[in-house]
Structure 1
């Protein structure tokens, strides 16, 4: 039987492990989705991608994410397991079947957990994506010191923010991406996991061992995560644009001051409004900008890469989590039996 501390520890360890594993793919996805992609990484005259620049500093900003992902993941799984257990127990039974289908309970539990997790994770996500876009000198990438954990890039990104509140810019966009993602992923994941277990039990090949548990969980989570990732890619692109502009946003007073100054200097207000950071933009406005620049294809930029790293990350993440939770539960049970 797993305790709350088991769930917390398993979730934190899974998050730490997966962040190190898939972070380079996440950096590439951010750069592909960035509004600056064509200016920085794409050479239109040669119709080629500057691969050396694109693949440089793939671990930039990883430190802030690891520090923040551990508590956010622990909070997610603690909330998810608690809500799922509570709703399952409260679900009335009629004629031998539950009134509310289990997938709805899984969706509700994961959505509630995601709102809690996103609030903790947003500052790290904003810092991370801004750090991933910082162009470091080529000499820095050749130094003997590892670039993975150097604090300079994260601090450089942090200095771009004038107010702490800017670090939470993108919470709505992050929640808007993660809520449908988890609401789709977890019911599919739970269904696939139980279906595979049931199939193996019927065929007499199910052992219930840790390795088998990890593999079944990883395959189920990877497949579910990959499908959900493709569907939610447009929201992810909008989230990336919003978070990358967070450091340049002006307060209402500052924006008003810029407008008044522009009017005195005879500048076009239309031109001023298009400048990055003059005012906060809604997700719908950003989505329209993405559409204007790249059409529908622009909304799915980085979708294949996101699907691949989500399949790998989700499979490994939930596989490590489930295995860790079961192992810790078995350890507690063994200690209780010994006494």
Structure 2
């Protein structure tokens, strides 16, 4: 794809797209986190049916994500461009063909984007840990989906758990990287293929317009479809990531479990199963991704590893479609506005 954007254009378009997606699809992400939580059935179901608490405080923790959006996006694009330039500079040409690079450009671009993802995830991990622990803060029955959404109370409550050990905010970095890298590797090649095919079909039908609306719609459909497949495929990694990040602080569910155990013991009931769950949760706070995955598989089976997969697929379809659709339209709008040529046509 050829375009004539400045770094500022790209950063503004990326930040606006990320903010739009964060705000619109955040409630779905909150529900997904709660479904993937080990305490889902105890905290959010009653007699096997979902209770209202699952849908309360759906914007809890959004502040940490919004604050991390701009620096993480800036770090990603800055790292990507600088790494790509460096790799191009040191990449020699084939002796038999001076114009042909020794290492194919797609490999260099993949290496640059992977490096950028590692840096971006380092910035995002604390926000993700705070976000997911804030999403699990249980509100009273009078709370609605927007009550306490933007007052930061849930985020502060989650952050207080890390005051004595702030390094735990980076717990789950490896799991986040392990999820994002294969997700990106699956999504973007399929996204580029679908977009090219859709544009080609419209070209053959004579309906290609190259307008901002067409750009946004084609990009959104392609990205949403590719994102859904990648999201479902990487759901087991996402479940493990969620468990590790929640265990990093020992979210509210653990405190409530201790209360349940004490009540059962006081009533002379057998609390062995609850004690075993608490012990496994404590081990999960220290275990690595592989150990957590094995524990989920042992206690919940394959179904446990794909918990929330359908919702994550729907959320990613909407999120990826909006993100790349808004980003691409915004990037081209800024270019057109800066160049001042309303008749500019773009190559894709």
Distance of aligned partners of 1:78 and 1:307 in 2 relative to their CA distance in 1, 3 Å threshold = farther
Q: CA deviation at 1:248?
A: 3.9
Correspondent of 1:187 among 189, 211, 229? 189
Local SS of the residue matching 2:188: helix
Matched residue, 1:40: 43
**Residue segments in structure 2 that go unaligned for 5+ positions in a row:** 252-274, 342-348
Is 1:133 the counterpart of 2:136? The answer is: yes
**Residue segments in structure 1 that go unaligned for 5+ positions in a row:** 250-269
Is 1:20 the counterpart of 2:26? The answer is: no
TM-score (norm 2): 0.80
Is the 1:107–1:184 contact (alpha carbons within 8 Å) kept by the matching residues of 2?
no
Is the 1:72–1:118 contact (alpha carbons within 8 Å) kept by the matching residues of 2?
yes
TM-score (norm 1): 0.82
Local SS of the residue matching 2:286: coil
User: Over residues 139-188 of structure 1, what are the superposed CA-to-partner deviations in whole Å (9 max), with x where a residue is unaligned?
Assistant: 3449xx84220111100010011222111010000000001001111111
Q: Which piece of structure 1 moves more, 22-31 or 93-102?
A: 93-102
Is the 2:57–2:143 contact (alpha carbons within 8 Å) kept by the matching residues of 1?
no
Correspondent of 2:279 among 247, 269, 274? 274
User: Over residues 104-140 of structure 1, what are the superposed CA-to-partner deviations in whole Å (9 max), with x where a residue is unaligned?
Assistant: 5554343222112101100000000000001011234
Correspondent of 2:243 among 241, 244, 252? 241
Is 1:9 the counterpart of 2:12? The answer is: yes
The whole-number CA distance in structure 2 between the counterparts of 1:169 and 1:158 is 14
Matched residue, 2:161: 160
What is the total number of aligned residue pairs between the two structures? 310
The whole-number CA distance in structure 1 between the counterparts of 2:156 and 2:288 is 27
Q: CA deviation at 1:293?
A: 1.9
Q: Which piece of structure 1 moves more, 118-127 or 204-213?
A: 204-213
The whole-number CA distance in structure 1 between the counterparts of 2:215 and 2:81 is 18
Matched residue, 1:323: 329
The whole-number CA distance in structure 1 between the counterparts of 2:178 and 2:170 is 14
Distance of aligned partners of 1:98 and 1:188 in 2 relative to their CA distance in 1, 3 Å threshold = farther
Is 1:296 the counterpart of 2:302? The answer is: yes
Q: Which piece of structure 1 moves more, 64-73 or 103-112?
A: 103-112
The whole-number CA distance in structure 2 between the counterparts of 1:323 and 1:78 is 21
Q: Which piece of structure 1 moves more, 235-244 or 76-85?
A: 76-85
Matched residue, 1:253: none
Is the 1:291–1:299 contact (alpha carbons within 8 Å) kept by the matching residues of 2?
yes
Correspondent of 1:308 among 282, 305, 314? 314
Matched residue, 1:120: 123
